[in-house]
Amino acid sequence: MKKKKPAKKKAPAKKKAKALKKAKPVKKKKVAKKAKTTKKKKVVKKAKALKKAKPAKKAKAAKKAKPVKAKALKAKAVKKAAPKKAKAQKKPAAPKKPKAALPATPAIQELQKQKAVFSVCSCQYTDADSIQQAAAELKVDPHCIIKTVVMEDELGKPMLVLMHGDQDVSAEELAATVGAQQISACSPELTEVHTGYEAAAISPFGIKKVMPAFMEKSIAMLPEIYIGAGQRGLMAKMKPEELIDALKPFMVSVAK
- The per-residue pLDDT for range 8-58, each reduced to its tens digit, is 444 455 554 454 455 455 444 444 444 444 444 444 445 444 445 454 454
- Which of 99-108, 199-208, 222-231 bottoms out in mean pLDDT, i.e. has the lowest? 99-108
User: Residue 122 pairs with which residues in a beta bridge?
Assistant: 234
Highest mean pLDDT among 16-20, 198-202, 226-230: 226-230
Residue 194 lies in domain:
106-252
Same domain, 126 and 186: yes
Same domain, 189 and 149: yes
Alpha helices (H) in 139-232, listed in sequence order: 171-178, 188-195
User: Residue 214 pairs with which residues in a beta bridge?
Assistant: 161, 250
Tell me: pLDDT of 62 over 90: no
CATH number at residue 181: 3.90.960.10
**Dihedral over Cα of 113, 114, 120, 124: its sign:** negative
Of residues 129, 171, 137, the one with CA closest to residue 154: 171
In a domain, 99, yes or no: no
Same domain, 111 and 237: yes
Q: What pLDDT, on the 0 to 100 scale, is given for residue 94?
A: 63
Tell me: pLDDT of 117 over 90: yes
CA of 185: how far to CAs of 51, 101, 150, 161, 165, in Å?
Answer: 106, 35, 6, 10, 16
Q: What pLDDT, on the 0 to 100 scale, is given for residue 200?
A: 80
Tell me: pLDDT of 143 over 80: yes
Question: Cα(101)–Cα(98) distance, rounded to whole angstroms?
Answer: 9
Say how many domains are in the chain.
2
Which has more pLDDT, 80 or 134? 134
Question: Cα(178)–Cα(75) distance, rounded to whole angstroms?
Answer: 78
Tell me: pLDDT of 107 over 70: yes
In a domain, 186, yes or no: yes
Residue 128 pLDDT grade (very low, low, confident, very high; cuts 50, 70, 90): low
Q: What pLDDT, on the 0 to 100 scale, is given for residue 249?
A: 97
Question: Hey, which bits of the chain come out as E strands?
Answer: 119-122, 145-153, 158-164, 183-185, 213-216, 225-231, 234-238, 250-252
Same domain, 117 and 224: yes
Question: Cα(125)–Cα(211) distance, rounded to whole angstroms?
Answer: 27
Residue 192 pLDDT grade (very low, low, confident, very high; cuts 50, 70, 90): very high
Average pLDDT on 92-107 reads: 72
Average pLDDT on 174-194 reads: 95
Question: Cα(237)–Cα(249) distance, rounded to whole angstroms?
Answer: 18
Q: What pLDDT, on the 0 to 100 scale, is given for residue 220?
A: 97
Question: Cα(86)–Cα(89) distance, rounded to whole angstroms?
Answer: 5
Question: Cα(21)–Cα(15) distance, rounded to whole angstroms?
Answer: 10
Q: What pLDDT, on the 0 to 100 scale, is given for residue 127?
A: 61
Cα end-to-end span (Å), the chain: 179
Same domain, 113 and 153: yes
Q: What pLDDT, on the 0 to 100 scale, is given for residue 141?
A: 95
Q: What pLDDT, on the 0 to 100 scale, is given for residue 102?
A: 76
Neighbours of 194 (CB within 10 A): 19
Q: Using CB atoms within 10 Å of the CB of residue 166, give its burial: 0 to 12 exposed, 13 to 18 middle, 19+ buried.
A: middle
In a domain, 98, yes or no: no
Which has more pLDDT, 94 or 9? 94
In a domain, 9, yes or no: no
